[in-house]
Structure formats: structure tokens, C-alpha cells
Amino acid sequence: MVETSKQFYINIEDKPYWNPTKPYDQQSRDAKQFMVEEAKKLKKGLNINGVKIHPWLYWHVNFWNMMVDKKVEGNPLPISVPEVAHLRDNEWLLQQSLIRSEELNKGIIGFGARRLGKELADYEPVITPKGEIPIGEIKVGDIAFGRDGKETIVTHVFPQGVKPIFRMYLLDGRYIDSGLDHQWTVITDKGERTYTTRELLGKKLSYNHKKSGKSYPFKLPECKPVQFPKKEFIIPPYLLGILLGDGKLGGGVPQFSSKDGEVNKYIQECLSDEYVISTDINSKKSIGYDCSFYIKYIGNDKYKKDPKGHNPISREIKRLGLDGDFSKKFIPDEYKYASVEQRMELLRGLLDSDGSVNSEGCIEFSVKNERLANDVSWLCRSLGIRCQQGYENLGWIEKEFPGGKVRNIYSEKWRVYIRTDLDVFKLERKRQRIKNRNRTSAVSIERIEYIGDHSATCIMVDNDDHLFLTKDFIVTHNSGFISSFTAFNATTIYGGE
């Protein structure tokens, strides 16, 4: 193996003694000649059995001490000890970048902390245009998204091996699993700072107050709306939101419930003149007022498009897998990964149907379907909107409907509490209640706990702030290069002989 070569300084036996207290001209002749040969290796590199060793890599393995985590039995926190560096994928990848940049006569810029790894557990996803991909499966050239919501290219992937993994819990219910040396850009009362998980573990993450409860000094920033590409849809996003919120999807004709003629107007506006909205006459008989409506297809060429003349929207509902049990509604992936405006229209449909806003501007989406609640939270976060989920189970209760009729219903709800001043409603009566929000868009770090050991990976992306989006659109830091590269330049360029 290259690392065990006798040409490496660390493997050379019977090295001439070099007195560290004396200058070069006062060393012995053998010592001076020996160090001159080492200096040549640091200047030109060397070749070991056909393998090129860059001058930096020779420096890194032979002369650079780094802090290495050593696991201690019974203690989840490893102890850091100084040790010479080893040849791993990280070092070889940096050497390749250095050699390539020199061949092209270009510079290379390295970013990073002195510690080597910025690692997420391999199962944690990275947000990509194709969906969520576990970071352990990410490859160089894959597209991720930055804090600004724009695409960024993965330029390096660094497997870190098995590491102690710590779970960071956020105040809104999200969590993310990472290693001790993973970096986080956090917002404090003094502005943005970058800390590792290890450093955050050593800080006080919450303070108790007699009157106001707890305060949390460290927060993660929210992302900007993620710019997925625009899609072509048969069912307009606003209409799909209405159908998911208050619609019946399993019949031959799409049906939705609404007390607002305004909703009918917006639905008709997003449909072509091949569709008409008609009233379900049975709804008035059973409830006491018109609240149920059909979307009928009246296109002249309906039988050309489908021999049975089926409603194109109904066909699309079936293709999307939404024609089953109403309690299992969900947002299809192709709508989740649509453009910003398309996703905003989808959210408006969901909130116009199953959303509410009180006089203080607090917005809530309430549904009997946990998966749909999770999807709405995902949708909000993809748009840079803060939200938090809750659950309520009241069992069987009596509910009075308009017209005075009372029914026994089973009350189980998942709620999504939404905090934004964006235009997330179309209905005027709801839009008027939205309040301006002046606070920084960030979420507090609640606590960090050790959860076990797992393989981890860090990646590098090519955007300016070195941030990318992971699970639930949590903003996290990418990997950096090694500080020994800086030390190598400082020593060999400015350090003389």
C-alpha cells in the first residue's frame, strides 16, 4: 500500500537527528542533507509504484497532525486526540482537484473548519429536483438546492464511515441526524454564526423564564421558496387543492363542497369552457343548503378523447392514485415538485377549502388524514413558510350543521399551524385577516441527543454560502476542504527552507 511506503517520512527508520532548538545552518551535515531531500518532495511531490503523490498530500500524511475522535466505552461523546492524518477518499479527492487545477493553470479555493468531517447520517435525504435522495446515495454531479431555493451542483462526496450520530430537535417538530463535526449556520442575537454539533452540545440551548416560559437562543434559518421546474397539469393546482381539502374523488364525476360562490368562480376560471359546475340537489335536502357541486365535462370531443366519454379530470384522478378511500388523500409528487407559483396555487386551494384564519392572523389547516397533513407541512416548507403540526382526538361528539341539524361525528384531526403573511388564500374574507409578520424567518433548536452510531456522509456543493437543503427543507452546511492545505501553503511558500 502507498501509505506504508518507505519513501514516506513517517516510515523512514534511523532518520538523522534534527535539533528543533537550532537553525538550519547549525544542524548536522546528515540532518541538513536529509531535510533537503524532504523539501524536494514537498516542492515537487513524488511517484510511488506509479501513483502520483501531490506535494500537499505528502505534507498532509507526514507532517500534519489532526484531531481524531476516539470512542470511549460507555461514553457517547468521543475523546479528541492528536494523530497523523491517514489516506482516505477525502484526501485522494482533494489531491485530484489540486492536480486538475494545476494542469488547467487555475486556482483552487478551499472552505472549511479545521476539523475534517461535516457529516449527516447516510439515511438523511437531500432535496433534489427528482425527489429526496439519501445523502449516502448522492453522487458528484447531482443537483441539490441551496438556502436561496436555487439549484446547486454537488461537486464532492466524502463518505465518513461509522460515526456517533446526534439528533437535533427543532421547536416546530422537525429533527435531523448528524455527526459531531457537522456544521450549522445558526441565527443568534448577534447575527449568523457557524457552529458544529459538538460546539452546540456545549452551549445552553434553552433558558427558563418565570413569566414567558422558555427561550431558545440558537435558530436555524428557513429556506427561500425552492425553485422546482414548472409542470404541465390536466388538473389545475388550485382545483386539486380544493378536491383534496373538500372534494369527493372516487366517483365518476369530481365533486367538491363549498359555502362560497367565490370558490366556484375561481374553479371555473382555472378550467376551460369544456367544464361546467352544477349543484348537487341532494346536498340541500340532507344539510339544508347548497354546498355540494359537480364538475361536469361537456366538451364536444369527449368521446374522441375517451371511448366511454369519461371526465378527463376523473381519469387524471385515477392515474394519480387519488380515487381510493377519501381518508387516504395525499399530494402527488409531481405537484409537490412543481414551480413556486403552481405550489402556491395548490396551497391556496387547500386553505380555501380546509383552512381557516382567525382575527389575529393565525392560519390553520385541519384535516382527518395524517398523510395529507404531512404533505401540507412539506408544501409550506418548500415555499419557505413556517409551520408546525398538532393532533387532536375528541372521540364521538355532537356537531350542529347549518340548518339546525345535529349529527354524531368522530372528531380526530391533524392540524397544521401556519405562520406567514404571504398571500396564501384566494377567498377575500380569509385574505383580509392575514397580518404582517416582521420577525426573522427561523426555527429554534430545542435540544440535541445522542441516538447511536451510523455511517455518515458529507458533500460539497458549489453555491456561495455552502448551504443545502435536507429533510423537511432544513438548511444545513456542506463539507469543506482540509485546513492542512492552508498550513501547507503557509509553510512551503512563506516558510523558507
The pLDDT value recorded for residue 51 is 85
The pLDDT value recorded for residue 336 is 97
3-state secondary structure of 136: helix
- Percent of the chain predicted with pLDDT > 90: 41
Residues 6+ apart with CB under 8 A from 283: 257, 289, 290, 291, 292
Question: Where is pLDDT greater, at 115 or 60?
Answer: 60
Whether the CB-CB separation of 185 and 192 falls below 8 Å is answered with: yes
Residues 6+ apart with CB under 8 A from 88: none
Average pLDDT over residues 243-269: 84
Q: Count the residues in the chain.
A: 497
The pLDDT value recorded for residue 397 is 77
The pLDDT value recorded for residue 103 is 73
The pLDDT value recorded for residue 117 is 45
Residues 6+ apart with CB under 8 A from 23: none
Judge whether residue 102 has pLDDT over 70: yes
- Residues 176-213: pLDDT tens digits? 999 998 989 999 988 889 899 999 999 999 998 877 68
The pLDDT value recorded for residue 494 is 42
Question: Where is pLDDT greater, at 304 or 8?
Answer: 8
- Residues 273-292: pLDDT tens digits? 888 888 866 655 454 445 68
Residue found by looking up cell 507526514 in the block: 62
Judge whether residue 488 has pLDDT over 90: no
Cα 313 from chain centroid (whole Å): 33
- What are the cell numbers at 453? 452510531
Q: Which of these ranges, 17-26, 65-74, 130-139, 474-483, has the smallest mean pLDDT?
A: 65-74
- Residues 410-436: pLDDT tens digits? 778 899 999 999 999 999 999 999 988
Element (H, E) at 196: strand 191-196
Task: Please say whether the dihedral angle defined by the alpha carbons of residues 105, 106, 112 and 116, taken in this order, is positive or negative.
Answer: negative
Q: b/e per residue, 158-191, with b = 16+ CB within 10 A?
A: bbbeebbbbbbbbbbebbbbbbbbbbbbbbeeee
- Residues 160-183: pLDDT tens digits? 889 999 999 999 999 999 999 898
Whether the CB-CB separation of 446 and 401 falls below 8 Å is answered with: no
Q: Name the band, by pLDDT with cuts 50, 70 and 90, for residue 58.
A: confident
Please give the Cα distance from 41 to 38 (Å, whole number): 5
- Residues 317-369: pLDDT tens digits? 999 999 877 778 999 999 999 999 999 999 999 999 999 999 889 999 999 89
Judge whether residue 49 has pLDDT over 90: no
pTM attached to this predicted model:
0.73
The pLDDT value recorded for residue 110 is 47
Please give the Cα distance from 21 to 70 (Å, whole number): 32
The pLDDT value recorded for residue 447 is 96
The pLDDT value recorded for residue 478 is 61
Classify 423 in phi/psi space as left (phi over 0), alpha (psi -120 to 50) or beta. beta
Q: Which of these ranges, 145-149, 176-180, 308-312, 335-339, has the smallest mean pLDDT?
A: 308-312
- What are the cell numbers at 204? 445552553
- What are the cell numbers at 284? 340541500
Mean pLDDT of the chain: 82
What DSSP letter does each residue of 340-405 carry, written as one string?
HHHHHHHHHHHHHHHEEE-TT--EEEEES-HHHHHHHHHHHHHTT-EEEEEEEEEEEEEEEPTTS-
Q: Name the band, by pLDDT with cuts 50, 70 and 90, for residue 495.
A: very low
Which CA distances in Å does 29 have to 32, 216, 337, 484? 5, 63, 69, 30
Judge whether residue 303 has pLDDT over 60: no
Average pLDDT over residues 53-64: 79
The pLDDT value recorded for residue 289 is 47
Query: Rounded to the nearest 5 degrees, what angle is found at the Cα of 11, between the Cα atoms of 81 and 118?
Result: 35
